Amino acid sequence: MTVPRPPSGLPPLVALPSQAAGLLARCRFPAAGEQVVAAVSGGADSLALLVLARAAGLDVLAIHVDHGIRPGGDSEAAVVAAAAARWGARFECRRVSVPPGADLEARARRARYDALPAGVLTGHTADDLAETVLLNVCWGAGIDGLAPMAVAAGGASRPGPPVRRPLLALRRAETEQLCASAGLRPVRDPSNDDLRFRRNRVRRQLLPLLGEVAGRDPVPVLARQAALLGDDAALLEELAAAIDPTDTAALRDAPDPLARRAVRRWLRAGQAELHPPSAADVARVLEVAAGSVVACQVAGGRRVRRSSGRLYLDEAPAGSENRR
């Protein structure tokens, strides 16, 4: 369902919560007047995103994606529609289907992003960033995983359409307070209390424990480290982009960190549904480039082979193995 574009102009300034101006100064929104799409689930973070985007003078289309997993999807969409109408934004609800099964949470997230356009604004906060850093540490991530939400979408960041996250300098408690001051009642997702999900355990158990051990709030520390590592990762990505990953001589001559990054970019190109290439896959490809092996298999049922000084990426024949 789509609500027609309301009359242009922001709501009167007096209607804005008193702390909106202070929060807005810490956000990174596009220039006033720009047309943007905001992903609004109805939670506190996304409702705060909607309010602040309008306060920044943006022409906002709020999109609510209903994945049909929880009952009451229509009521959640109604919350977003009412908030959009109140704050002078357009509204659209998009419905996607996510069949039950393994990795339901990850598949639902992917389906939501697939339903959103590139450049969409999301309501991720510093708390989300810190949680993701710790989750990626648990998975053994490298520098890009320790700089989530900071690496350019065309580089080594997570699969999915490029997104913009203007609220990364804000805290979750601040978005909740903004909603309370604005008289908004956010949708509460009961799955956020389910400790079977790793993110919830990081949020409710690991981060408080880190704070107790460190004697300080760990979220600003993790966010600052992620920003610094993001700058480093962006520089490495720029340098690696100049390397032809199919040129074996270029790979052999490049410093190892850049060669690995160039190969990782190559293996991931056009493969948004795959996990990032593993360190083992990248190492095998570099062995092919060095002449130690003629060919190897990598994730996704694919095969890398060397011929006349170049690397080629093919679908792997059934039953093939590394050949030395």
- Confirm whether 259 is domain-assigned: yes
How do residues 41-63 score in pLDDT, each as one tens digit? 999 999 999 999 999 999 999 99
Cα distances from 254 to residues 125, 134, 229, 290, 310, in angstroms, run 37, 31, 21, 12, 15
Mean pLDDT for the stretch of residues 140-146: 87
How do residues 75-93 score in pLDDT, each as one tens digit? 899 999 999 999 999 999 9
Domain that holds residue 308: 242-315
Same domain, 64 and 181: yes
* CB of 248 closer than 8 Å to CB of 306: yes
Look up residue 160 and give its two tokens. 């999915």
Kind and range of the H or E run holding 131 = helix 126-138
Same domain, 184 and 267: no
Same domain, 146 and 223: yes
More confident residue, 52 or 5: 52
Look up residue 219 and give its two tokens. 């979220």
- Confirm whether 320 is domain-assigned: no
- Confirm whether 49 is domain-assigned: yes
Q: pLDDT over 90 for what percent of the chain?
A: 65
Same domain, 54 and 181: yes
Checking if the pLDDT of 270 tops 50, the result is: yes
Total number of domains in the chain: 3
Q: Is the dihedral of CA 165, 171, 176, 181 positive or negative?
A: negative
How do residues 17-48 score in pLDDT, each as one tens digit? 788 889 999 999 999 999 999 999 999 999 99
Same domain, 39 and 148: no
Same domain, 139 and 276: no
What CATH number did the domain enclosing 97 receive? Answer: 3.40.50.620
Checking if the pLDDT of 159 tops 60, the result is: no
Bridge partners for 246 per DSSP:
none
The dihedrals phi and psi of 23, each to the nearest 5 degrees, come to -65, -40
- Confirm whether 109 is domain-assigned: yes
Look up residue 214 and give its two tokens. 């460190």
Bridge partners for 279 per DSSP:
none
Same domain, 169 and 77: yes
- Confirm whether 217 is domain-assigned: yes
